[in-house]
Amino acid sequence: MASGRKHLLKVIILGDSAVGKTSLMNQYVNKRFTQQYKATIGADFLTKEVMIDDKLVTLQIWDTAGQERFQSLGVAFYRGADCCVMVYDITSSKSFDNISSWKDEFLSQSNPKNPENFPFVVLGNKLDKESERKVPNARASQWCRDNGNMPFFETSAKDAINVDEAFQTIARNALSQVKEEEEYKPTINLNGGKKDKGQKKACC
Partner 1 sequence: METPLFLRKKKLFFVFTSAAKPVWTRYGSETDLSTFIGSLAAILYKFQNYYTGIQDSLRYLRTADMYVVFLCTEALFYVCISKGKDSLESLYNQLRMLHTKVISTLTDNITTMLISRPSYDARNLMGGTHSALDYLIRTTAVSPSMLDAFMPVPMLAQHRSQIQLSFKSHLDDDLLYGFIMTSTSIIYRYCRKGENIHHIDTSLLFNMLASHSSLRSTMSWTPICLPNFSDKGFVYAYITFLQDSQVGLALLSDNSAAFKNLKACGDAIETEIRGLLPIIEESVKSIPYSVSICGIKEFKHFIYMTKAVDQYTMSGFTPSTRDFLPEMPIDIYKRTLRRYFAAYKLSNIPEFFKGNYTKIDTYKNEQIVALRTNEYVLFASLSSMLPAAAVVQLTTQLLRWLKSQEQDFFIMR
CA dist 3 and 14 (Å) reads: 34
Q: Does 71 bind partner 1 (CB under 8 A)?
A: no
Euclidean distance between CA atoms 204 and 201, whole angstroms:
8
Among 68, 116, 184, 193, binds partner 1 (CB under 8 A): 184
If you ran DSSP here, which 8-state letter would residue 8 be given? E
Q: Does 52 bind partner 1 (CB under 8 A)?
A: no
- Give the residue, chosen from 31, 34, 42, 93, that forms a contact with partner 1 under the rule CB under 8 A: 42
| CA-closest candidate to residue 28, choices 85, 68, 103 | 85
User: Based on CB atoms, which residue is closest to partner 1, 58 or 141?
Assistant: 58
Is 148 a binder of partner 1 (CB under 8 A)?
no
Closest distance to partner 1 from the beta carbon of 8 (Å) = 5
Half-sphere exposure of 78 (CA within 13 A, CB side): 23
DSSP 140-177: HHHHHHHTT---EEE-BTTTTBSHHHHHHHHHHHHHHH
H-type helices in 16-162, by residue range? 21-30, 74-78, 93-97, 99-110, 137-146
Among 75, 97, 117, 146, binds partner 1 (CB under 8 A): 75
Shortest distance in whole angstroms from residue 54 CB to partner 1: 16
Shortest CB 44 distance to partner 1, Å: 9
Under rule CB under 8 A, residue 185 binds partner 1: yes
Closest CA to 88 of 99, 78, 100: 99
Residue in 31, 32, 79, 94 binding partner 1, rule: CB under 8 A: 79
Instruction: Give the residue, chosen from 17, 40, 58, 141, that forms a contact with partner 1 under the rule CB under 8 A.
Output: 58
Where are the alpha helices (H) located in 16-136, listed in sequence order? 21-30, 74-78, 93-97, 99-110
Looking at the Cβ atoms of 16 and 82, the one nearer to partner 1 is: 82
Binding site for partner 1 (CB under 8 A): 1, 5-8, 10, 42-43, 45-47, 49, 58, 60, 62, 72-73, 75-77, 79-82, 113, 177-178, 182, 184-191, 195-198, 200-204
